[in-house]
Chains A and B, each alone.
Chain A
Amino acid sequence: GAGVSQSPSNKVTEKGKDVELRCDPISGHTALYWYRQSLGQGLEFLIYFQGNSAPDKSGLPSDRFSAERTGGSVSTLTIQRTQQEDSAVYLCASSLRPQQKNTEAFFGQGTRLTVV
C-alpha cells in the first residue's frame, strides 16, 4: 500500500476483554515498530520487528501484551485482559532499516483504544 495502514481506527472494549490491533506496513519495509501514545504524552516504544523476529521487546509493559508478525509483513499487537490504563493510541511504523542506513520511519494513523 501507499502508507502504513492500521485497523481498527477506534476500538472500545470492556475491562478484562482481549483486543487485537493490526498493522500493515509499507510494502518492502522489513523493520516494523509499535509505539503507544497516551493522552498528551510522547510516543512510548513497545516492540521492534526485523522480518518476523522481534529482537527488541523491551517496551512491552507487561506479559498481557504480545505481538507477532507473519510473512515479514502484517503485524498484530494483542492485549489480554485489558485494563483502563491500557487506553491510549497505538501507533505502528515501518522503515527500510537496515537495508537503508539512517532512513526514517513512516507512521500509521494509529488505533485509539478505550477500555471502559
Chain B
Amino acid sequence: QQPVQSPQAVILREGEDAVINCSSSKALYSVHWYRQKHGEAPVFLMILLKGGEQMRHEKISASFNEKKQQSSLYLTASQLSYSGTYFCGTEMEAGGTSYGKLTFGQGTILTVHP
C-alpha cells in the first residue's frame, strides 16, 4: 500500500524551515528518503530503521515514529539547492529479511525562493 505524503507542495524563502511527513497503514521495517530534481535521478538522503535513531545529514534530519508508522523529514534553514521533489520509500520486512523493495509516496514538491 502506497504511503501518504503531506503536504503535496511547499514554497519557502531561503532560510526557512519545512517538515514533510510520510504515513503508512502497514507496519514498516524502514523508511528511505530521496530527493529528485527535474529530469534527474532520485538522490538518496537517508534511511530510518525500525528501532533506529533519528538520522541527520547536514541541515536535513528525519525521524521515524514506529507507533504511528510515520516518518518526518525536517529541512532546516533551507537553501536554494533544496528545491526538488521529495519522496519517501517504505520497506516492509519479508519473513525476517528485507531486500530493498520500496513503495514510494506520491512526492512533495519543495520550492525555495531567494
Contacts and interface: CB of A to CB of B under 8 A. Distances in A.
Given A102-B30, A102-B49, A104-B47, A43 B42 contact: yes
A102 B47 contact: yes
B44 A48 contact: no
A106 B89 contact: no
Interface in A65-116: 91, 95, 97-98, 101-110
A1 interface: no
A45 B101 CA distance: 8
Q: How many residues of B sit at the interface, in one of the four size bands?
A: 20 to 34
B102 A97 contact: no
Interface in A41-64: 41-45, 48, 50, 55-56
A12 B101 CA distance: 29
Interface stretch (B13-21, B76-84, B103-111): B103-111
Given A42-B2, A43-B87, A97-B99, A108 B104 contact: no
B1 interface: no
Interface in B37-59: 39-44, 47, 49
Contact of A33 (B43, B100, B106): B100
B5 to A, nearest CB: 8
Contact of B97 (A31, A43, A98, A109): A98
B99 A50 contact: yes
A4 interface: yes
Nearest to B94: A56
A36 to B, nearest CB: 11
A98 B87 CA distance: 23
Given A31-B99, A43-B104, A109 B40 contact: yes
Nearest to A32: B100
B103 A45 contact: yes
Contacts of A55: 99
Contact of B105 (A42, A56, A101, A104): A42
Which of A41, A98, A107, A108 has the largest number of chain B CB atoms within 10 A? Answer: A107
A105 B102 contact: yes
Given A4-B41, A110-B41, A31 B105 contact: no
